[in-house]
Amino acid sequence: NSLPSGMPPVLIVDEKHSYLPIPPGNASILTHSIFLQNGVEVFIDDDQQLHLKSENDEILNGVKALPDARILADENDRILFLSDPTENYSHAVLGDAIEATSITLIDTKNSPYQIRKINPEKGDVFEGISPIWVDIDLDGTREIIVTQSNEVVGARIVVYREDGSVLAESAPIRKGFRWIHQIAAAQFKEGGPLELAVVRTPHIS
């Protein structure tokens, strides 16, 4: 299958086939669709609106995604993504000056959908295209791990609970327009705890 130039691919694999799904014509080429367990396709359009498409194409009003946000889904068909773009923090660490000012969590199994937004401290943004969504403290509930930044102290790693409260955060890098970023959460040592790997100022040191 052919994808628009520049669009990141997503591979669908079943028992007999693997293929690249062709995105809807109005889908943003800066990111890709995902598919929920019930077959609903979730994608971001050119106007940063979120679509849930099955037999009908449903647009979620009041939700504006980051143009290149990677949409995450869990085992309960909840979806998570960075949202509410701003150009107020012109670090452009990923090639553009557009960052997120919220994290949106949507429970698609409820009708109407339950939508929750998590906002950072005033003046902060979320740098990146995707959080890490994992049960980092092993309490049975996922946490949301992001890079949170401002022009005074730069970036820090923040771990949010799904209710929007802060579970943990790193020390900030202490200089504006400097970057720390989350890479992976994993058990890096056999028998060890779940740990978070990050990269610090990858562009300059």
Instruction: Write out pLDDT tens, residues 43-100.
Output: 999 999 999 998 888 999 889 999 999 999 999 999 999 999 998 887 777 777 799 9
Q: Is the pLDDT of residue 146 over 70?
A: yes
Q: Residue 204 is encoded by which pair of tokens?
A: 């300059």
Q: What is residue 26's predicted lDDT score, i.e. its pLDDT?
A: 92
1-5, 13-17, 51-55, 175-179: which has the minimum mean pLDDT? 1-5
Residues in the chain: 205
* CB-based contacts of 127, cutoff 8 Å, min separation 6: 89, 91, 93, 94, 99, 147, 148, 149, 155, 179, 181
Reported as a pLDDT band with limits 50, 70 and 90, residue 4 is confident
Question: In percent, how much of the chain has pLDDT > 70?
Answer: 99
Q: What is residue 178's predicted lDDT score, i.e. its pLDDT?
A: 85
Distances (CA, A) of 42 to 69, 70, 143: 12, 11, 22
* CB-based contacts of 4, cutoff 8 Å, min separation 6: 23, 29
Q: Is the pLDDT of residue 135 over 90?
A: yes
Q: What is residue 1's predicted lDDT score, i.e. its pLDDT?
A: 65
Q: What is the mean pLDDT of residues 126-147?
A: 95
Q: What is residue 56's predicted lDDT score, i.e. its pLDDT?
A: 87
Q: Output the pTM of the full model.
A: 0.92
Can you state the percent helix, strand and coil of the chain, rounding each to 5?
0, 45, 55
* CB-based contacts of 60, cutoff 8 Å, min separation 6: 49, 50, 51, 52, 106, 113, 115
Reported as a pLDDT band with limits 50, 70 and 90, residue 183 is very high
112: cis peptide before it, omega within 30°?
yes
124 contacts 152 by C-beta, under 8 angstroms: no
Mean pLDDT of the chain: 91
Per DSSP, the three-state class of 31 is: coil
Q: What is the mean pLDDT of residues 15-23?
A: 88
Q: What is the mean pLDDT of residues 178-201?
A: 92
Amino acid (one-letter) located at 205: S
